Amino acid sequence: MIPDQILYSLVIPTESKLVMVVIDGLGGLPVRGRTELEAAKTPNLDRLASKSACGLIDPIANGITPGSGPSHLALFGYDPLQYEIGRGVMEALGIGLKLTKDDLTARGNFATVDRNGIIVDRRAGRIASEKNREMCQFLQEEIKEINGVRISIYPGKEHRFVVVFQGEGLRDELTDADPQKEGQKAKGTEYLTSEARRTAEMVNEYLRRVTLTLQPFYPANTILLRGFSKVPDIPSMTERFKLKPAAIATYPMYRGLATLVGMEVLETGETLREEVETLKNHFHEYDFFYFHFKKTDSAGEDGNFQKKVKALEEIDRIFPFLLKLRPDVLVVTGDHSTPSLLKAHSWHPNPILLYSKYVRPDGVRRFTERYCQQGQLGKFSAVEVLPLMLANGLKLKKFGA
């Protein structure tokens, strides 16, 4: 890949419009000989593939299974090894929080310790989400602030929650306050740089007060915090690629990821039809659209082959509407594979098609993993997708004389 500084220096703004459709967890593995994409009826994607340049993309590198954070950063044109998004931040984005540079986030578990402070259950018996909500509300009322740092706690599912510490000068060079194992003592966080010392002291004071407060709530009589993180300092897509980008996504995490790179997040509904409607209504206002579809990944995570097939058939139906908008460049791909066989994200490369006036259609007749592997783009790294889109939108100058 070309170094960032050189890439950025080549970018010129043009009128052309780029659309990136991300089918979450797109790639699959064969079950009785066919992957989900091969089993699905996707006539629109197939027709599009036959007019496009096709290939396979590796989210990160051979064999590496990415989380949603790094795999999306790569698609947005950022080296995911350079910009790291912490677990606390991902959780906070996942529940729809808007984060600023003054926010320090952490993900938390309610847990059980015995009278010697030894963790006997890292999940406090997987308490009910309802109970979790009550306890978060109680803690929020009891502890609102420490040393001028505002503290907010947000319940998640079962024993999980997110804490946001808000104040100037907070640092995230902190170890997990969670030994990740039972039978060990619950410990505080430790600072990894001297600049993070005051933050660590504040967090540890919070942990002390929470544990006191939770005495009556056995088995949920303490909390474990990990993934302390602040939003990374990422230059926006506008700064770097001179784009005016917008995001259309129904899930909070993806909306949040889009804000991290400076996209405008458009209001949309819960359905795919509403997402398409949103794209149509705002098409004249932006020149880059990130369009996210989640159901494929959820079905894959559930291990539900047929449900993933159905989800693929659902997204297939939007393409005639998208093409009517006449985007100059349309990319369809996935952030990572989620084979229903594995019920999880995986390392397998994803098919990609790139449709524009300036491609050599390569005779790939179906939009599947195995057809796309024959495509002219070959197998390449996800972080090179955006440069290819910019090029096809005539938004990149010549390099060198």
Residues that bind a second copy (CB under 8 A): 1-3, 6-7, 10, 29-30, 35, 56, 60-71, 80-81, 84-87, 90-91, 227, 339, 341-342, 344-349, 357-363, 369-370, 373-380, 384, 387-392, 396-401
Smallest distance from a second copy to CB 313, Å: 20
Strands (E), 69-143: 103-113, 119-121
> CB of residue 198 vs a second copy: minimum separation in angstroms?
26
Q: Pick the closer one to a second copy by CB: 14 or 211.
A: 14
The pair phi, psi for residue 158, each rounded to 5°, is 50, -115
Q: Which is nearer to a second copy, 113 or 332 (by Cβ)?
A: 332
Is the bond preceding 219 in cis, omega lying within 30 degrees of 0?
A: yes
Q: Which is nearer to a second copy, 27 or 245 (CB)?
A: 27
Amino acid in the structure at residue 39: A
Minimum CB separation from a second copy for residue 378, in Å?
4
Q: How far is the CB of 161 from a second copy (least distance, A)?
A: 15
Q: Closest CB to a second copy among 151 and 377? A: 377
Cα–Cα distance between 277 and 148 in angstroms, integer? Answer: 45
Whichever of 115 and 401 has its CB closer to a second copy, that residue is 401
271 Cβ contact list (under 8 Å, min separation 6) = 250
Alpha-carbon distance 10 to 21, whole Å? 25
Half-sphere exposure of residue 279, counting CA atoms within 13 Å on the CB side? 29
* Pick 4 or 134: Cβ nearer a second copy: 4
Q: Could you say which DSSP state residue 22 is in?
A: E
Nearer to a second copy, 58 or 275 (CB): 58
Report in angstroms how near the CB of residue 385 gets to a second copy at its nearest: 8
Start-to-end C-alpha separation, the chain: 20
Judged by beta carbon, residue 224 or residue 388, the one nearer a second copy is 388
Please tell me the number of Cα atoms within 13 Å of 297 on its side-chain side.
19
CB of 345 to a second copy, least distance (A): 6
Q: How far is the CB of 291 from a second copy (least distance, A)?
A: 21
**What is the Cα–Cα distance from 238 to 259, expressed in whole angstroms?**
12
Q: How far is the CB of 304 from a second copy (least distance, A)?
A: 18
Angstrom CA distances, 306 to 38, 41, 300, stand at 12, 12, 9
CA–CA gap between residue 349 and residue 29 (Å, rounded): 11
For 61, 73, 75, 91, 248, the CA distances from 81, given in Å and listed in that order, are: 11, 10, 13, 20, 25
In 192-339, DSSP assigns E strands to: 222-229, 245-248, 264-265, 288-293, 329-333
Helix (H) or strand (E) holding 315: helix 305-316
Residue with smaller CB distance to a second copy, 120 or 391: 391
User: From the CB of 264, what's the least distance to a second copy, in Å?
Assistant: 24
